[in-house]
Chain A
């Protein structure tokens, strides 16, 4: 506090910020994963929506009678003073897809969490990222009591492109979460260099 004034005029660091999305079906462990790797307890942000499912920004706001909120949680990892990675848990329901559009803009990539007991819950997320050419990997969240399937079977069930990495993970485990994030960035890099190879 005492230093607050004397430091005034010294410009704060303006970090490069990056984001990775954590997507997947309802209750699959998105918030858990964000919390496991984040340096802060996941924070919550809200956006107001009209019932039609459009952001208030697109309408005249105060005139919108029935509004609802969509909540997103996010975490932060300060890699360096000038390089900060944000993780956003995407809202699950498909009617919030416009939020995904906004979130995925400029994203490095995404982790799609899957639960083998209800694989179909992550189809929408996979479709979404495939269609927009956003690099993603699939993390099969290993819940106790869920049968373990060979990775090849899960791949086939998800109809995953051969380039898309798939890994087993435990959303509660920090190391496992880190590994998934590293996997996404490596995948994004590999894809970018493949693209460069094609275009040059």
Chain B
């Protein structure tokens, strides 16, 4: 991408700074190859026998955070974004990298237009009633 060749001040522009910075973390990428648009409620789970992400020099601290957060309990893309205070688009890219590296896997929610099983809907109703 042309980002590297661009006027450097772009990166330090007061106004753009805090907005653009997260994408520096993804080296300017806004999508990753293997990644479809991950749903906000797609569940990210760390592979139990994944290598230690800290040993991988290509991964950023934020990648490591995600692997750590999803190790003991799974987490959705939305929760990761809120918990790490990163924009959703950035989390998608980072998770995509981690999937590529077999550090995590992602469970996609029920596909659109395919209502979940009636028994699940019934469980939801009963669960809500019981709250």
Please give the residue numbers on chain B whose beta carbons come within 8 Å of chain A beta carbons, in ascending order: 1-3, 6, 10, 16, 19-20, 22-24, 28-31, 37, 39-43, 45-46, 48-49, 70-74, 76, 78-79, 81-83, 87-89, 92, 107, 109-112, 115-116, 118, 120-125, 127-129, 131
Interface positions, chain A 56-75, Cβ under 8 Å from B, are 56-57, 59-63, 65, 67, 69, 74
Contact of B73 among A12, A43, A77, A85 (CB under 8 A): A12
Complex interface: chain B residues within 8 A of A55 (CB):
89
Interface positions, chain A 1-37, Cβ under 8 Å from B, are 4, 7-19, 37
Q: Check A62–B3 contact: CB distance below 8 A.
A: yes
A88 at interface, CB cutoff 8 A: yes
Q: Check A106–B78 contact: CB distance below 8 A.
A: no
Nearest CB on B from A132, distance (A): 10
Contact A46/B88 with A65-B16, A86-B78 known, Cβ cut-off 8 Å: yes
Nearest CB on A from B112, distance (A): 4
- Chain B residue with Cβ nearest A46: B87
Q: Check A77–B131 contact: CB distance below 8 A.
A: yes
Nearest CB on B from A181, distance (A): 6
Please give the residue numbers on chain A whose beta carbons come within 8 Å of chain B beta carbons, in ascending order: 4, 7-19, 37, 43-48, 55-57, 59-63, 65, 67, 69, 74, 76-77, 79-80, 83, 85-86, 88, 102-103, 105-106, 108, 178, 181-182, 185-186, 188-189, 192-193
Complex interface: chain A residues within 8 A of B92 (CB):
57
Contact A12/B110 with A45-B78, A77-B128 known, Cβ cut-off 8 Å: no
Measured between alpha carbons, how far is A37 from B3 in the docked complex, in Å? 44
Complex interface: chain A residues within 8 A of B124 (CB):
18, 79, 83, 85, 108, 185
Nearest CB on B from A149, distance (A): 28
Contact of A80 among B19, B28, B123 (CB under 8 A): B123
Nearest CB on B from A51, distance (A): 12
